[in-house]
Amino acid sequence: MHILDKIVAAKHREVGLKKLLIPVNQLGKSRLMERDTVSLVKRLSKSKSGIISEHKRRSPSKAAINTSLSVEDVILGYTEAGVSGISVLTDGQFFGGSLDDLILARACTTCPLLRKEFIIDEYQLIEARAHGADVILLIAAILTPDEIRSLSRRASDLDMEVLLEVHDKEELERSLFPEIDMIGVNNRNLKTFEVSVENSLTLSEKIPEGFMKISESGIDSIGTINQLRTFGYEGFLIGEQFMRSEHPGNSARAFIQQLER
């Protein structure tokens, strides 16, 4: 069993337990369910940099990344740096995140927030909305086409945008539905954790018009982003590069300033 299978199995157990403790109608009473969500698509379409930064403490492939910084400091730093959106890891067992991270992030910024999670159930969408998310991630590798369609529609009903993450042509072609807003090409193979930006370049021409293109993982230079832009990408998700620094916000600001020159 590779790591993705382990994560999904653990997620099914986790969501089952949560449903017993906090029913959907209780989640629906959150004051954040009433807030107007912020469009990441609109922010990216107006952005000069297209940077989506990330709060990420650790990962299964590289263990600890940065566990010493407060959520507030990271999110405020990213906001002041001028990022277009912020991804917040909420998986606890494998990435050291939590829904508390998401709700604290929401209290610190007006930027669009993406809940970065292994979503396998509609319950998690309501959780995301109740904790301040504007965008949810759906990973094609762990969902059937019917599940992607159903979850996308529910997210749209909840006034959240959908970022669909794909890794190859087969995942892309079986997963396209009108309710999806953005296609994120993950340059990291979730089975081997090897990274290659060539994956984004190869899949770019396969993504139909009408879906905003996002490139994820392995983006560490201005040259890479400029190359990706020529292939139609408008958003660039960067996590580890910023989080490995002592001041992620300062790292993001310097990168964005260089990019916008």
Please give the pLDDT value at position 58.
80
DSSP character string of 174-205? TS--TT--EEEEE-B-TTT--B-THHHHHHGG
Range of the domain at 88: 3-259
What are the catalytic residues?
54, 56, 116, 165, 186, 216-217
Please give the pLDDT value at position 62.
66
Least trusted range by pLDDT, from 56-70, 199-213, 214-228, 239-253: 56-70
Q: Locate 13 and state its tokens.
A: 């157990």
User: Can you tell me the mean pLDDT for 160-183?
Assistant: 96
User: Is residue 1 predicted with pLDDT exceeding 60?
Assistant: no
The torsion of the CA quartet 208, 212, 213, 219, rounded to 10 degrees, works out to 180
Please state the domain count of the chain.
1
Q: Which of 256, 47, 51, 36 is nearest to 161 (CA)?
A: 36
User: Is residue 24 predicted with pLDDT exceeding 80?
Assistant: yes
CA distance 84 to 236: 10
Give the CATH number for residue 36: 3.20.20.70
Strand, coil or helix: 113: strand
Strand, coil or helix: 115: strand
CA distance 52 to 173: 25
Q: Output the pTM of the full model.
A: 0.95
Is residue 210 within 8 A of residue 179, CB to CB? The reply is no
Is residue 56 within 8 A of residue 231, CB to CB? The reply is no
Q: Which of 216, 218, 236 is nearest to 85 (CA)?
A: 236
pLDDT interval class at 189 (50, 70, 90): confident
Q: Which of 231, 207, 228, 214 is nearest to 54 (CA)?
A: 214
